[in-house]
Structure 1
Amino acid sequence: MTVTEERAFLHGLPGVDRVGAEERAARLATRSIKASAKAEAIDLAISMVDLTTLEGADTAGKVRALCAKAAHPDPSDASVPAVAAVCVYPDMVEVAVRALAGTGIGVASVATAFPSGRAPMEAKLADTRAAVAAGAAEIDMVIDRGAFLSGDYVKVFEEIVAVKDACGPAHLKVILETGELATFDNVRRASWLAMRAGADFIKTSTGKVSPAATLPVTLVMLEAVRDYRAVA
């Protein structure tokens, strides 16, 4: 794959109608849901959450407390399901793995110079391998937005491929940092690029940049997943 070929493919994707996307997202937000369906949806959402702490002040005690909350989100109501995973920095993976032993809850870890994504490739891969070796079942990487916005799609693609390989048995979630991508067209292109490169999941943002996730951006990404699956 050449830069020209990847650019031609990504820029050949249909453009996103910003007004239309915002209107569709707004309509979806106003839909009424039956109480029983809402309760089921809330339980499903909880069971899919990555409960996360990504602060410089994180301690082993804080991570263990988060793991306890992950297993019992509401200690007063045993019917509330456990979350899917706990997400931490690589140096806290072992702590989380030990704390969650026997719960069935996974451990995810950010890597690849999160949240900036600015580091030599060797460092990104070492970061990834260390987290997996410590027991992470999922790696969350963030794309190089500078490369993407400069049109160096092949660099972004090849980095995702390399990190996916370094993940071994772990899943790879690719974070687009949509607040820095500027346009819905870029969000759609980045979504397709990440999936074509082997991402198991795509995610809106690190939560470290404003704006982070928005309903219209999420809708654009969901439509990209739908369209990708239709042809993959």
Structure 2
Amino acid sequence: MAVVTVGLVLDLFGTFFFAMSGSLLAARRGLDIVASLFLGSMAGLGGGVIRDLVLGVVPSAFDRPVYFVPAVVAALVVFFLLSSVERFERPLLVFDAGGLALFCVTGTVKALEAGMNPVAAVLLGVTTAVGGGLTRDVVANRVPQLFNRKDIYAVPAMLGAALTAVLWETGVYVTGAAIGVAAVVFGLRVLSLHFGWHIPSAAGSWQRRPVDEGEGGA
């Protein structure tokens, strides 16, 4: 029987939140329930699979089938209760924020437990947090939220991963601290959505913007 740990519980909640975002996107696109389950699984499990492959271990999603349960639950919730879920303001982005907040913590911790240095662990924590959403958006033929210049999608994850690494290295990482970091990341993400915060473009606004050949330049 699998041992239930705090890390596993946080991972499953993060998987559920991201899976909800994937299933909601499928519903908005008018796709069927199989596509809902598929997009939900991609969103909920994608970041963790990437993390585990980088660490050179069997992905948790394939080693412990319980990771697929949140994706199934999310697909069923959207199937039966879509109208209720949609009553909340910007539900897709809010669920996405929940997954982002939890995965930047659990991804960083798993990397640290595997012996990675703090900098590498932070990078892998961010990858875990944004990987699922990126996979979801690419598969759904949607501009990834990560590349939305009017958003700060990855910044809260970077902050959360860095805080987690600091707490771990100073020996004060406990369950309450992990939940606190996740709450900070979630709050920052939601506030950024509400106030429209964004970071500077790749090139300063005073510089001439080069034309991408893919944009139909002459």
TM band (smaller chain) = under 0.3
The TM-score with structure 1 as length reference comes to 0.26
Task: Select the structure that is richer in strand.
Answer: 1
Q: Which has the larger radius of gyration?
A: 1
Greater relative contact order (Cα < 8 A, sep 6+): 2
Task: Select the structure that is richer in helix.
Answer: 2
The TM-score with structure 2 as length reference comes to 0.27
